[in-house]
A and B are shown apart, each in its own frame.
Chain A
């Protein structure tokens, strides 16, 4: 970089504007590529945006904290977005009441499978304690998972990364696996996607249709709640 360009970069990277703008631009690029790929589940806009931004930060030797000063304005919206999930939940209330027992059992079974198998597999492969604690809440939506990890002594920012990767894996492979197992009911597919891979899985379920989307949003909200209640409880009982 020339002297002037570096001065401009130093100035820009010190203000929140750059972090915020690059976040939105990177996501737009991710979305554009996603649409160009005919919305292929393996071409995930979040993954593309994160890869672009990480490369940019590493290439320019910018610290994450500096980037986050701008990006926090986007990050902050996770809170209100979680509250907003009450609306799709309410709209599906009739469906939910009708199959409440089935959904409740599937919720507890799925939630415990997600946390238990993640911790179990990582433990069997000699994962560190920090990793195990940060993995436990990873199927819940990010704001909930991060809060739980923090409370239990994990690393919230590591959990955020694990949550994102979980979402991408669920969105990329979930429907393929369920189709292979002949589990094609959109209610079942949607609920399983939302439970195991939260908002990113729900974004995938939206492509499967309205019923799958509704059950996915419902499962994401319920699993956020179940994870927030069950994990601290189990941790207290075990430790």
Chain B
């Protein structure tokens, strides 16, 4: 992975954290960093090859990055055992509700399909 572009990602994240702290924003630093990088790409007008490779490498194994936080489940076993009913119902119910609502609203409003399928 090209080092320069890894550095760029970290610089965007750091700038995001600084902006968040300086302006006391409710948005997390990495999200501000994402907005900064997005703005930069719009100004530049294209994605440099190296940046494409660096981000593809990171995003390809996005699921792996959730594992350490997920193992934190063992620190909440007590709460999850005590509240498994609201947890299970809320997770399954809200996730499927969000998927269905989003999909229906989008199909209803989306400009008709020309190029996909």
Q: Interface of A with B (CB < 8 Å)?
A: 23-24, 26-27, 45-46, 49-50, 53-54, 57-58, 64, 67-68, 71-72, 74-75, 77-91, 93, 98-99, 101-103, 105-107, 109-111, 113-119, 121-123, 125-128, 130-131, 135, 138-139, 142-144, 146-148, 151, 155, 157-158, 160-167, 169-170, 173-174, 177-178, 181, 183, 185-189, 191-193, 195-197, 199-200, 202-203, 211, 217, 219, 221, 224-225, 228-229, 232-233
Contact = CB atoms under 8 A, between A and B. Distances in A.
Contacts of B97: 113-114, 117
Give chain B's interface secondary structure class.
Answer: helix
B107 A110 contact: no
Interface in B101-116: 101-107, 109-111, 113, 116
Interface residues on B, range: 35 or more
B62 interface: yes
A161 B117 contact: no
A157 B72 CA distance: 6
Q: Which 3 A-B pairs have the closest CB atoms?
A: A110-B102, A160-B69, A71-B68
A189 B34 contact: no
B22 interface: no
A160 B70 contact: yes
Contact of A87 (B47, B76, B89, B117): B47
B106 A84 contact: no
Given A151-B26, A181-B100, A162 B55 contact: no
Contacts of A157: 69, 72, 75-76
A224 B116 CA distance: 25
13 contacts: A50-B70, A81-B65, A83-B33, A110-B101, A111-B98, A114-B97, A121-B94, A122-B90, A147-B29, A155-B76, A162-B91, A164-B69, A185-B117
A50 B73 contact: yes
